[in-house]
Structure 1
Amino acid sequence: MQLSRLSAALFNLSNVSGSSLRLASIPSRLVSTKSPSLKTLYSTCLSTSVIVLATSQSAWAQVDDVDAQTTPNVVLDTIVVTSSADASADGLPSAYEGGQVATGSRVGLLGNQDIMDTPFSTTSYTNEYIANQQAQSVGDLLKKDPTVRVARGFGNFQEAYFMRGFITTSDDTMYNGLYGILPRQYIATELFERVEVQRGASAMLNGAAPSGGNAGGTINLLPKRADNEPLRQLTVGYGQGDQGKVAVDVSDRFGSDDAFGVRFNAAYQDGDSAIDDESSTLGLAALGLDYRGDQYRLSADLGWQDNKLSETRPSVNLGGVSSVSNAPDGSKNWAQPWTYSDEEDVFGTIRGEYDFTDNITAYGAYGMRRGDEDNSLSDLTVTNTNGAGTTARFDNTREDKVQSAELGLRGQWQTGKIDHDWVIATDLYDQEEKGAYAFEGARPNNLYRPIKYRDNSWSDTAVFVGNANNPTLTNEKKLQSFALADTFSLFNDKLKTTLGVRHQNIKTTSYDYNTQAKTASYDESAWTPSVGIVYQPTMDWSVYGNYIESLAPGKRAPLTNDHEAVTNGGQNLDPYVSEQTELGVKYDNGMIGSSLAVFRTDEPHAYINNSNTFTAAGENRHQGMELTVFGSPSENMRLNAGVTYLNAKQKDTGDSALDGNRVIGVPTLQSNVNLEYDLAAVEGLTLTGDIIHTGSRYSDNANTLKVDGYTTLDLGARYRTMLAGQDVTLKGMVTNVTGEDYWQSVGGYAASGYLNAGEPTALKVSATFDF
């Protein structure tokens, strides 16, 4: 039965005799490893780098028993099995039709899963899509995702992401399954191959997020690996405001059967942005090594990133106003001339996998990061709708040392007619944070008519906490967990049920910045179970449901609130659990894929009370629906679109004035349409467009400060041609074509409703040369 379905799919996709077919366009679930005549072919495809399939009638005979007199001749292209980022024998899931997303992604300890086989909502964006969008960071790419909205960290320029209305910070981004390894605030695209978005809670799958986020989703980045063909690529780019960039990407394979792979990336960017007086300098380098053997695989990564910002436009706080000020001109800047933010990180990982038998594999990974940050910041608090307000100063120094590791064993076994895919894993995370900070009171300023204070000397009222020249230990965090899961399949893999549980221990200790005395600590453990069910009534459809929890360290209290010190600033609240239930349906015909999810998540609520103390009370209930569509509706068109409806409300807060109000920063409706169209009249020319809509949001828990929604339009084009015998791709994009002035995000930290202005109209162009 499975063989005839595969042959039918191949026949339908090959319309005429002699046409070419890419096996990657066939959903992997059609190729059953239980089919005797396909088992050898399938395992070989996964374990070797290049397989050339026979193009004669005899090749068809090996796939299915089809009469040679009635079956058209089909030429099968060379199939390239992409090197694996996680050292697995399977390699990366292949790209979906259109090349923008992959057919699957890593789902925590369950490993790589086809999108139709997993009881969770996931998307994996490919390197091709990242490059074509000219995305410069994780946030630059994820603003294209209809289920994500990019925000900003508290008091700095850290990227943060609203997912299902919850904040996931870049602190909690995973690198090949490990927390805390990549730079903490900004992650450049040259450092990763794919961006995997796993929506919803994930404590059983990934363990607790170190910074207390990820109730709404987890982002996993995959490192780059040497592909089967050598790569020699040079990219030069230019952005409006005199921003220049150059990047190199080279790779090759060596040794017997090309078992050894090396890939090297480096980039340098410098210059002004399209925002007045704002500039940045970025340098990075990354080296990826891998070895793929018959019985074991190894990989290693080493990276460095140095990100320097100068006069970056800060967020805007609202204080004592009755309404929200209109967003200023997108190119205006109210940063003080002496403000800056420097972040430098060095990181590395090693990973290995060993096959004890055909059915049992052990794996392990270890990573570490050393990060140094130095900032001089000056936010703006608006106290009048005419833009009048005050500017305060906040400087801080921070050093991070992070170690992260995982160890596991996975395998398959059978009991009667039930197939089992099981895994046992343990995870460790250790972080030491050193820091010092200083702040002082406010000076008059105005959002629309900024005042530049050239003198940055401290006043007599300045407060200094710790020693900026020699920061001391302020926080320690240790996370340890043990997890096991089993996915058992029935009815010829039509019904799959995943049961799992994780035991998580969270230990945190806070220290006084000056005396090093312990100010707070806890050592707590919890069990977090999960159950997921997938049923596939046909090849094209899947129905799924899940219950899963998110366990996290308690939210960390901000240091200041409206220029006043928070009484428990810098301390963490007790650990808390968010609970999620979800139902969904997925569709995939090999050309167009779609997913519809309906979910509800309850998360403990935290806010700064009237005593200026950060405290936990009540919960936030997020109910919603997500629809995503992706793929290639026609040969010359690619689509990535979707819409999200969210009903995020405060519940049982202890304050009747707050109960039932919407959660800060969360819109009711958001949607994206990203379209690419190959122009038939000009060979090699592709037109691109993005429409991003975000509905209104509130900036306060009382829902008295409403922030208008916005809709932006980005237009672009790319042209593939030959120059001097070399392949060249020219790209150009204009962001915010209509010149809308808008507040891009509201909040980005618990109970905080600061505003972040949107991008102005700007042009960015690049040229990529393949040698």
Structure 2
Amino acid sequence: MPAPRFFLRPTVAASLLALHALTALAQTPPAEPASSGTLSTVTVEASADASAEGLTKPFAGGQVARGGRVGILGNQDMMDSPFSSTSYTHELIQNQQARSVADVLQNDPSVRVARGFGNFQESYFIRGFVVNSDDIAYNGLYGLLPRQYISSELFERVEVLRGASAFLNGATPTGGGIGGNINLLPKRAPNEPLTQVSLGTASGSQSYVSTDIARRFGPDQSVGIRLNAAHRDGGTGVNAEQVKLDVASVGFDWRSRNARISADIGHQEHRLSRTRPNVTLGAGVTRVPSAPDNQLNYAQPWTYSNERDTFGSVRGEYDITDNVTAWIAGGARKSHEGNSLAGLTVTNNLGAGNMSRFENQRQDNTRTAEAGVRGKFTTGPVNHTVVASYSYYQLKEKNAYKWDFFNNLKSNLYAPIGYPIPAYTASAFRGNDMDNPALLTQTRLSSLAIGDTLSFMDDRAQLTLGVRRQKLESTDFAYDSGKPTTYEKSRTSPMVGFVFKLQPQVSLYANYIEGLSKGDTAPTVSTSGAVRNAGTQLSPYVSKQKEIGIKYDGGRIGGGLAFFTTDKPRALINSAGYYVAEGKDRHQGLELTAFGEATKGLRVMGGITFLDAKQRATGDASTDGRRVIGIAKTQGTLGLEWDVPGVRGLSLDARAVSTGPSYADAANTLRVPGWTRFDIGARYLTEVAGKLVTVRARIDNLTNRNYWASVGGYPNNGYLVLGAPRTVTVSASVDF
């Protein structure tokens, strides 16, 4: 049943109506009005969730938090965790006018934003390994949020856990999570009433309206409700490109002395029209073409991508005793995607190329659940925190497609040619019924995990040991015939982590942890002939990570230095003609991160990553020892935010994002130039008629640089994505 249109198109009037209803129900006395000489601020920090700790506190400067969720180990302070992580706060998200997860992660020196293969899905390189949006967790559960684009109205914080995480989180739905995990935290009602309306505009005549309303109820404020809604519509800085977004969500929480419950329900519709596609380099290309004008659009006029998602989740936690807590969580998502696409394949060094029409329909139904128990006890001088959990994930994907591969439309990277939508020819590839997509894949992941954190020497030293038994099951159904092929394998993944506090301000840490993903199925033929074990299913790929590091908490400034090495298995056809798991990609790197408030009114955040990602024992002399596609040796980010002295309420910010050269092919013959992008912003807080008003302005890609923003994002593919042009965004928020 389609959602009502008033649900999809929130307006200021609808928001005020919701405010009136909430105000009538709330039993909270109104906040004291601000004095005429003081600018009041609204704390949008969540205070209650289905966990005793709630959110970790913000670090000095408010842009990142002191810690975050570390899988089944729960929330941990950054100085107590044997892993590298960063949690970006709602304050940062709002002040930078971030529209999605990708906008937030531009701040992370270990992350680079990419795009899915042949579509517009946001994907991310973390430590050089791809994490798809499918593999993002929502309050610890996979598969609940939209899989292509996640609007910032749906989350309070973005938590990045760097490194493999099979023990901490279990295997991800698509086998990512080798270089890191992303967890989004839902919004909760803060302690103080919140009513905020925002209006904005951006390059391309794009308009924006959103509301954020929250109240707590009851004499003890034990019940909270938070409503978020937004509508975005209009063009972008790219010629003829159009974006339309409708999103709404409701978050609920309740707490008592021994029990806590939270729940969320949300709906998002994201519609793209004539969005600029990826660029694939064909066999005739011997060098990477220079990036064209960043406003140029080589999309065909009839292309589009529409996504509609509805999701819900619930989480409960109960204190059985003072030292034993049990929890249970579950959620579901139903989504539909429809696309009409035409990617550009460049066939020579002058930018000439071709495009072909491709359409598909996809429907997803996801169910996920988790249950666990956490307890504390002491044996002699050692304190123990033991955790055990069971998790389950199921995805049913329906799909159908048409692809007119041989009906090429001639175009050019620098002088695009638009065509009327072509009719499909008899030679077009087809799979299933576009009007009634059939089941294509059914995936089930289940696991049982147990861990123990041992603390000794007055908690200066902590040793965490853990193991997870994971079962990977999937059934692929052939297009049209529905013939099934089943995969069912299990694997036990260990973990060990150690933290030692040299001083209260300095922690040393080390870890060994593995990543887990489904093994491939041997193909029928290869370039050298028939494969002798065609159809054989390889055991799960086990990635192995070793990491050591140091963390610093100076009160106002914090940061960390991490050295890691991760080996990811590869598959190849060996000299005897068998398809086997041999060779590996080895990613070795050094990460430096820093954040906080350097002096009063000057906030800093950023870092640099040095990464050596090489292919090893590939079975091909042309690729052995070569760099992995799309991975730069050096990348970094530096952001500064400054409260202007003498101008009360005015803050300025600037950010530089830099990425070194990379390669678009496994043999490293196609070198893609590096790039540096500069962004600036301003924020002004004032009071109008007793209401707090915040005006924000931002310019991304200040110098309007033409550059290839990413290379690849799908294994063994080096397609290019052109960076966005200079984009100006202006918004105003009013707190009633």
TM over 0.5: yes
> 8 Å contact 2:686–2:694 — kept in the other structure?
yes
The structural deviation recorded for 1:106 is 0.3
- The match for 1:202 among 157, 162, 165 is 165
Specify the alignment match of 1:260 in structure 2: 223
Deviation track 1:339-375 (CA, whole Å, cap 9, x = no partner) reads 0000000000010000110000000100000010000
Specify the alignment match of 2:714 in structure 1: 749
The structural deviation recorded for 1:86 is 4.7
Deviation track 1:185-227 (CA, whole Å, cap 9, x = no partner) reads 0000000000000000000000001101110000000000001
Deviation track 1:487-530 (CA, whole Å, cap 9, x = no partner) reads 01010000000000000000011001201111x22110000000
> 8 Å contact 2:49–2:260 — kept in the other structure?
no
> 8 Å contact 1:607–1:751 — kept in the other structure?
no
1:436 and 2:400 matched: yes
Q: How does 1:310-349 map to 2 (within 5 A)?
A: 310-320=273-283, 321-349=285-313
Amino acid at match of 1:128: E
- Matches of 1:635 and 1:209, distance apart in 2: 42
The structural deviation recorded for 1:557 is 11
1:502 and 2:468 matched: yes
Specify the alignment match of 1:547 in structure 2: 512
- Matches of 2:652 and 2:536, distance apart in 1: 50
The structural deviation recorded for 1:256 is 2.6
Deviation track 1:1-20 (CA, whole Å, cap 9, x = no partner) reads xxxxxxxxxxxxxxxxxxxx
Specify the alignment match of 2:355 in structure 1: 391
- Matches of 1:747 and 1:688, distance apart in 2: 31
1:217 and 2:180 matched: yes
Q: How does 1:641-652 map to 2 (within 5 A)?
A: 641-652=606-617
- The match for 1:758 among 723, 729, 732 is 723
> 8 Å contact 2:680–2:702 — kept in the other structure?
yes
Q: How does 1:114-133 map to 2 (within 5 A)?
A: 114-133=77-96
- Matches of 2:616 and 2:477, distance apart in 1: 33
> 8 Å contact 1:606–1:751 — kept in the other structure?
no
- The match for 2:61 among 98, 102, 124 is 98
Q: How does 1:55-454 map to 2 (within 5 A)?
A: 83=46, 86-320=49-283, 321-440=285-404, 441=406, 442-454=408-420
- Matches of 2:42 and 2:693, distance apart in 1: 24
Matched residue count: 690
- SS of 1:578's equivalent in the other structure is strand
Amino acid at match of 1:479: L
Amino acid at match of 1:627: L
Change (3 A) 1:393 1:79: closer
Deviation track 1:711-760 (CA, whole Å, cap 9, x = no partner) reads 01111111111123211111111111112110000000010100000011
TM-score using structure 2 length = 0.91
Amino acid at match of 2:475: T
TM-score using structure 1 length = 0.87
Q: How does 1:336-735 map to 2 (within 5 A)?
A: 336-440=300-404, 441=406, 442-518=408-484, 520-554=485-519, 574-605=539-570, 617-735=582-700
Specify the alignment match of 2:23 in structure 1: none
Question: Taking CA–CA contacts closer than 8 Å with sequence separation of 6 or more, which of the two structures ends up with the larger relative contact order?
Answer: 2
> 8 Å contact 1:555–1:750 — kept in the other structure?
no
The structural deviation recorded for 1:459 is 2.2
Deviation track 1:553-612 (CA, whole Å, cap 9, x = no partner) reads 236999xx9xxxxxx9999965211000000000001100011000000001258999xx
RMSD between aligned residues: 2.6
- Matches of 1:578 and 1:203, distance apart in 2: 9
Deviation track 1:462-485 (CA, whole Å, cap 9, x = no partner) reads 111111100010101000000000
The structural deviation recorded for 1:143 is 1.2
Deviates more, 1:80-89 or 1:742-751: 80-89
> 8 Å contact 1:81–1:91 — kept in the other structure?
no
- Matches of 2:721 and 2:379, distance apart in 1: 56
> 8 Å contact 2:47–2:191 — kept in the other structure?
no
Deviation track 1:278-329 (CA, whole Å, cap 9, x = no partner) reads 0011001100001010010011100000000000000000012110000011
The structural deviation recorded for 1:461 is 2.1
Deviation track 1:224-258 (CA, whole Å, cap 9, x = no partner) reads 00010000001111011000010000000001301
Amino acid at match of 1:696: P
> 8 Å contact 1:224–1:288 — kept in the other structure?
yes
Specify the alignment match of 1:72 in structure 2: none
- Matches of 2:457 and 2:360, distance apart in 1: 59
Which 4+ residue blocks in structure 1 deviate beyond 4 angstroms? 78-86, 555-558, 568-574, 606-610, 613-617
- Matches of 1:742 and 1:116, distance apart in 2: 38
- Matches of 2:245 and 2:580, distance apart in 1: 38
- SS of 1:257's equivalent in the other structure is coil
- Matches of 1:556 and 1:388, distance apart in 2: 36
> 8 Å contact 2:47–2:189 — kept in the other structure?
no
Deviation track 1:21-43 (CA, whole Å, cap 9, x = no partner) reads xxxxxxxxxxxxxxxxxxxxxxx
Change (3 A) 1:724 1:217: same
- Matches of 2:491 and 2:110, distance apart in 1: 29
The structural deviation recorded for 1:614 is 10
Unaligned runs of 5+ in 1: 1-48, 51-77, 562-567
Change (3 A) 1:385 1:617: farther
User: Could you tell me the percent identity over the aligned residues?
Assistant: 51
- Matches of 2:584 and 2:332, distance apart in 1: 35
- Matches of 1:98 and 1:357, distance apart in 2: 37
- Matches of 1:574 and 1:349, distance apart in 2: 33
Change (3 A) 1:573 1:697: farther
- Matches of 1:572 and 1:110, distance apart in 2: 33
> 8 Å contact 2:130–2:179 — kept in the other structure?
yes
Specify the alignment match of 1:71 in structure 2: none
The structural deviation recorded for 1:392 is 1.7
- SS of 2:220's equivalent in the other structure is helix
Amino acid at match of 2:247: L
- SS of 2:362's equivalent in the other structure is strand
Unaligned runs of 5+ in 2: 1-27, 30-40, 527-532
Amino acid at match of 1:486: D
- Matches of 1:605 and 1:693, distance apart in 2: 29
> 8 Å contact 1:522–1:574 — kept in the other structure?
no
> 8 Å contact 2:49–2:253 — kept in the other structure?
no
Amino acid at match of 2:433: N
